[in-house]
Structure 1
Amino acid sequence: MTDLAAALGVLRRIDSGQSVADAVLLAAHDLLYARIPRRLGDSSMRRLAEILVGRGVVPKPGDYDGKWWLWWPKSGRGPCRDCGKTRSLTRYSARFGHEYRYLCARCRSTERKQIAEQAEELLSTPGTHSRCDAVPTPASTAGSHPAETAPVGGTVVSPPSDDDWDRYVRRLHELLAALEWAGYEMPEEWDTDFDPHAGALLFTSLWRGDGCVGVECRPQQGVLALQPFEDVTGDWPDSYSLLEHSIEIPVAQSGQQAIAAVTAATGQLGLLDAAHVHVADSAPPEAKQEFAMRRIRRIFQPAATFRQLPLTDVLQEVTENEWLSAYLDWVVGMAGRDVAPDLVPDAAALGVAAWCWRNNTAVEDHHLETDVMMARVNIAVTRITQQHVCPIEGIDWDSIRDALMDPQWALPDGTLVRSLFGRGWTEVASTVTAELDRWRRLDHEVLGPETTLILMSIGGSTSYTDSWWGQGRWRSMCRRIIDDATAAGLSLPAPYDQRGPDALLADLDAPDQVPDTVLDWLIDLPDTGRDGPRGLRMNRVTRPPQHCWDPYGLTDHNP
């Protein structure tokens, strides 16, 4: 206990801003390891280890009986082993001939390329053998000579100034605004480098829950690259990549053009919508059970924090609520069983439209005369809910109710929505109001804003809303339907038979503004035959991308 108190004294000195030498920190850590049982000293050792990583002090592979990875952090910020620059670091396992090491994303990328090149050389040279432990460090690669100039597009440029770096970061955050709105965690600091061939580089991994995508920006080349996340070492067993292939997006345009290009590309890839992920068929039953339990924890832990109650107490209360339990069984557990518990404001808006307007109310009982008119009203409801969903403050249920119940609420052509339902409006209004009020009470009294947003995001990401306007993939779905139709020789609806497919695609960004004939054409392409192209109603393109979680780390004894 005296040793534990001594180590805690070192931590208190650090927290109070006092200067403590690396040797003193390491001695405190080693004292805990030697004298205190793990169950007592573990948290203090973890904290000391985090500080040491930040200072570039990392154990050798055999230190602490070779088990130091059990409490040293998987990630941190400090000097990279290979380039020596202070950056965001990830710990990689002692596999494939390597030692445990903390590397920045850039050096890890270089290491992977070198391994791949060696493997390719091995395959092309009979009789040779690979030596992964002989991979050279990237000390002579990107970033090792910051004073060099870089040829970019045939022009020699000077290394960026501090003001240039600040400008690059600000622009990068503008370019990625759609991803940030869709729930991705933006880094407080970007890793940077200056490459003799690429110029300035900014890179990181963007996480949303357990899904990840790599980002690399080359501002002097005008390129933003999105890359798959690779966990080849098994250090992130709960993770999955949100991309299968790398793409490059030109971002040299000024103003909003580049932002629109990034938004369109990320929307087409499904990155702006909630992720759909399933467990690999080869996973053992215990891994599948852990996946399901982790999903439950991610949904309801924010509610427990909001209520300041143990998670088990919140789950008990939720299961005892008959109506909420039914929603969880059907929407979350069945229709949305593969939807990740991501907090996506646009998906949450669709969830409100789907489950507080279209379903669980009298709206379906008073179905409007045409599917086109139902679609127009759905879009109008979604537009209203989008205005009152905030990732920080949650859902403003009262404002949504007031807007939907406003007697003057009308479609863009001036048609009052209440008039479309005739005498049925009284029942529609009553049931919609009841549903919104029910969710408001659950939000304020049981779930809290974050869990409610997650549940609505899942509700807005099921097959019920796959073809609805309001999701990130909308433009790419319309593009595919138009391309399929023109490839099959179908005529575009007037006036786009004269204006062309690009004009139609642009106008479909606001489908409630196009004529009925155009919206009807989009929903069900005419005269296509049994095997012809399909509109929104029956097109496979409306199905979201599917990701696979392969729990490699849970079936391997190496951490």
Structure 2
Amino acid sequence: MTIPALSPADVDAAIALASSRGRPVNVHSAGVAELAAALGVLRCTENGQSVTDAVLLAAHDLLYAQAPRHLGDSSMRRLAAVLLGRGVVPKPGDYEGQWWLWWPKSGHGPCRDCGKSRSLTRYSARFGNDYRYLCARCRADERQQIAEQAGRLREMLAPPVAAHPAHMPAPVTGSHPTEAAPANGTGAAIPPPSDRDWETYATRLEGLLAAVGWAGFDLPQEWDIDFDAQEGALLFATLWRGDGGVDVEYLPHQGVLALQHFDDVTGEWPEAYSLLEDGIEISVSGSGEQAVTAVEAAAGEAGLLDAAHVLVADTAPEEAKQEFTLRRVRRIFQPAADFRQLPLGELLREVTETEWLSAYLDWVVGMDGRDVAPDIVPDAAAPGVAAWCWRNNTAVEDHHLDTDVLMARVNIAVTRITQQHICPIEGIDWDSIKDALMDPQWALADGTPVHSLFGPGWAEVAATVTAELDRWRQLDHEVLGPETTLILMSIGGSTSYTDSWWGQGRWRSICRRIIADAIAAGLPLPPPYDQQGPDALLADLDAPDEVPESVLDWLIDPPRAGDRTPRGLRMHHVTRPLRHRWDPYWLSDSIP
């Protein structure tokens, strides 16, 4: 490439970048001139000078060649953003297939399909597609084409009408149709469903379970099916998240979805445990949106949308307890070993030698979160990021705001931001979280800029939060990979530190219990809900940062009611997570 005239700043930046990789360098060291040249190209581009696409790409490739493991380097990301704006996007296998780790998740530039310069989003390499940047219109067209292709394929592969398969494949895509008509109670036989009916039921069931799928459960590719002339159709399966199981039964003619206790009656799953103690029946005969909301609410109250807390039975043999612990370690770190293409033992040695990460593992994962199952739960990872990159290990606590209510409102605002940048497939977008938290326009629901709340202390808060986010980004990209990082953040968001935080699946049921106990104690609801009633308060607490401060204060610490003191978020035992038990009773000495 044509090398621009190097400035001393380019050389100094190149030396600093090379030195950050653990080797002493100076201006004469191998590779420093190339790094300085690449950084000079970036400088020229950002100063508005004319630089060709070829030179930009060559500069990017120089940085990559000098440090292929330093995938999160800001210079590479900035060059990638410029290239995206010019329509230059790597092929799927370029840069060892890992270019998406530093290429921006969203940006502005020519769409791959229509060629028009628009806002773009990167979509994952799933279902036979490559990583690609599309505008919203072309993404909608793509989804429609996939749906049409799937429909044609199902028609081609559909079995004869007279023969029903033992399992019905779940459709790839589709809308959420209304329920079939419930049995009318007249005793008239229900006609057997057609193949298209079964597909409709399966599509509907996938839509009902959307929140459960987002919470990390694997929805089956095939549903077991059955039919009874009086009860109608039945679709059923066991849903798994790690070693935790839940049995699902769906009766579309009855308009009922049942979530049930998993029981390993065949002995095929010795490492499994049930994530439900009691069964739940949910009416889903209403409109599509109402039914989906009902399932999400029931699953949230049952703890299925949060990370699972699992204890080993005290009666289990010591070797079983040790194996349970080792299995947990493998489930956390095997994805990282695969990401790094290292043996698990070598990966674990590197992790334990990283002092700061080792401290997080000892306290958050090994002590406070020792019973949290190692699964990817995006809505648990969000408060994990908020807790350990905002509130802890930073200067936020040193500059505690005037009231706990105000701190809670800021915590909620941080959690909202992290929720927007966590994907169970692609991982955590640390840079977008950082940009959002450091944006001067970032404000609470009432319009108050967050930085103004901290006054002169904001500079220290911003510096320490940025450092913490950057540290996790580097660990994510260089050491752990997106899957293990998500697991660690899911555990971090499921400790006693966050068990009363907004954002968890049980939030509404926690608020409902606090309200009910306060009413039972004779405590009036805070205005205006003393007139509007508890249902209105519960609905508005879905966004607790938008209610008046006096209401949130009431929820955290309700006032006394005569000789009784109802408990709020700070002290109520309902905030404690539900716990499950793994009991390998077949290994007990008392079993003959």
- The TM-score with structure 1 as length reference comes to 0.72
**What is aligned with 2:413?**
380
Q: Matched residue of 1:190: which SS?
A: strand
* Counterpart contact for 2:559–2:566, Cα < 8 Å: no
Q: Distance in 2 between matches of 1:164 and 1:152?
A: 19
**Is the alpha carbon distance of 1:218 and 1:356 closer, same or farther for their aligned partners in structure 2, counting shifts above 3 Å?**
same
**Is the alpha carbon distance of 1:153 and 1:301 closer, same or farther for their aligned partners in structure 2, counting shifts above 3 Å?**
farther
**What is aligned with 2:52?**
none
Deviation at 1:355, TM superposition (A): 0.2
Q: Matched residue of 1:192: which SS?
A: strand
**Is the alpha carbon distance of 1:524 and 1:245 closer, same or farther for their aligned partners in structure 2, counting shifts above 3 Å?**
same
**What is aligned with 2:72?**
none
Q: 2:558 aligns with which of 525, 529, 544?
A: 525
Q: Distance in 2 between matches of 1:332 and 1:369?
A: 31
Is the counterpart of residue 439 in structure 1 residue 472 in structure 2?
yes
**What is aligned with 2:461?**
428
| Pairs within 5 Å for 1:44-443 | 86-87=166-167, 153-154=185-186, 155-443=188-476
Q: Distance in 2 between matches of 1:349 and 1:382?
A: 6
**Is the alpha carbon distance of 1:284 and 1:530 closer, same or farther for their aligned partners in structure 2, counting shifts above 3 Å?**
farther
1:102-129 deviation line (CA, Å, top 9, x unaligned): xxxxxxxxxxxxxxxxxxxxxxxxxxxx
Deviation at 1:198, TM superposition (A): 1.6
1:319-357 deviation line (CA, Å, top 9, x unaligned): 110000000000000010110001000100110000000
Q: Distance in 1 between matches of 2:357 and 2:566?
A: 40
**What is aligned with 2:488?**
455
Q: Matched residue of 2:570: which SS?
A: helix
Deviation at 1:308, TM superposition (A): 1.0
Q: Distance in 1 between matches of 2:185 and 2:251?
A: 12
Q: Distance in 2 between matches of 1:258 and 1:447?
A: 39
Is the counterpart of residue 476 in structure 1 residue 556 in structure 2?
no
Q: Matched residue of 1:538: which SS?
A: coil
Q: Identity, % of aligned pairs?
A: 75
* Counterpart contact for 1:235–1:553, Cα < 8 Å: no
Q: Distance in 2 between matches of 1:550 and 1:255?
A: 39
Q: Look up the equivalent residue of 1:86 and give its one-letter code.
A: A
Deviation at 1:158, TM superposition (A): 1.1
**Is the alpha carbon distance of 1:346 and 1:370 closer, same or farther for their aligned partners in structure 2, counting shifts above 3 Å?**
same
Deviation at 1:389, TM superposition (A): 0.2
Q: Matched residue of 1:156: which SS?
A: coil
RMSD across aligned C-alpha pairs, in angstroms?
2.0
**Is the alpha carbon distance of 1:435 and 1:412 closer, same or farther for their aligned partners in structure 2, counting shifts above 3 Å?**
same
Deviation at 1:152, TM superposition (A): 5.3
* Counterpart contact for 1:151–1:196, Cα < 8 Å: no
Q: Distance in 1 between matches of 2:461 and 2:185?
A: 62
1:188-246 deviation line (CA, Å, top 9, x unaligned): 01111102332000000000000000000000100000110012443211100001111
* Counterpart contact for 1:213–1:227, Cα < 8 Å: yes
Q: Matched residue of 2:189: which SS?
A: strand
Structure 1 residues not aligned, in runs of 5+: 1-83, 89-149
Is the counterpart of residue 507 in structure 1 residue 587 in structure 2?
no
Q: Distance in 2 between matches of 1:319 and 1:537?
A: 35
Q: Distance in 2 between matches of 1:434 and 1:418?
A: 17
Deviation at 1:557, TM superposition (A): 13
Q: Look up the equivalent residue of 2:443 and give its one-letter code.
A: A
Q: Matched residue of 2:505: which SS?
A: coil
Q: Look up the equivalent residue of 2:489 and give its one-letter code.
A: M
Q: Distance in 1 between matches of 2:267 and 2:253?
A: 34
Q: Distance in 2 between matches of 1:374 and 1:273?
A: 23
* Counterpart contact for 2:192–2:229, Cα < 8 Å: no
* Counterpart contact for 1:388–1:395, Cα < 8 Å: yes
Q: Matched residue of 1:273: which SS?
A: coil
Deviation at 1:254, TM superposition (A): 1.4
Q: Distance in 2 between matches of 1:175 and 1:375?
A: 32
Q: Look up the equivalent residue of 2:247 and give its one-letter code.
A: G
**Is the alpha carbon distance of 1:264 and 1:445 closer, same or farther for their aligned partners in structure 2, counting shifts above 3 Å?**
same
Q: Distance in 2 between matches of 1:405 and 1:450?
A: 26
* Counterpart contact for 2:189–2:229, Cα < 8 Å: no
* Counterpart contact for 1:384–1:400, Cα < 8 Å: yes
Q: Distance in 1 between matches of 2:428 and 2:587?
A: 37
Q: Distance in 1 between matches of 2:334 and 2:562?
A: 50
Q: Distance in 1 between matches of 2:549 and 2:337?
A: 47
Deviation at 1:553, TM superposition (A): 4.6
Structure 2 residues not aligned, in runs of 5+: 1-163, 169-181
**What is aligned with 1:516?**
549
**Is the alpha carbon distance of 1:151 and 1:472 closer, same or farther for their aligned partners in structure 2, counting shifts above 3 Å?**
closer
**Is the alpha carbon distance of 1:346 and 1:384 closer, same or farther for their aligned partners in structure 2, counting shifts above 3 Å?**
same
Q: Look up the equivalent residue of 2:320 and give its one-letter code.
A: A
For structure 1, which segment, 335-344 or 547-556, has the greater mean C-alpha deviation from structure 2 after superposition?
547-556
Q: Distance in 2 between matches of 1:362 and 1:388?
A: 23
1:27-83 deviation line (CA, Å, top 9, x unaligned): xxxxxxxxxxxxxxxxxxxxxxxxxxxxxxxxxxxxxxxxxxxxxxxxxxxxxxxxx
**What is aligned with 1:133?**
none
Aligned pairs, number: 416
For structure 1, which segment, 527-536 or 257-266, has the greater mean C-alpha deviation from structure 2 after superposition?
527-536
* Counterpart contact for 1:481–1:522, Cα < 8 Å: yes
**Is the alpha carbon distance of 1:540 and 1:492 closer, same or farther for their aligned partners in structure 2, counting shifts above 3 Å?**
same
**Is the alpha carbon distance of 1:152 and 1:552 closer, same or farther for their aligned partners in structure 2, counting shifts above 3 Å?**
farther
**What is aligned with 1:65?**
none
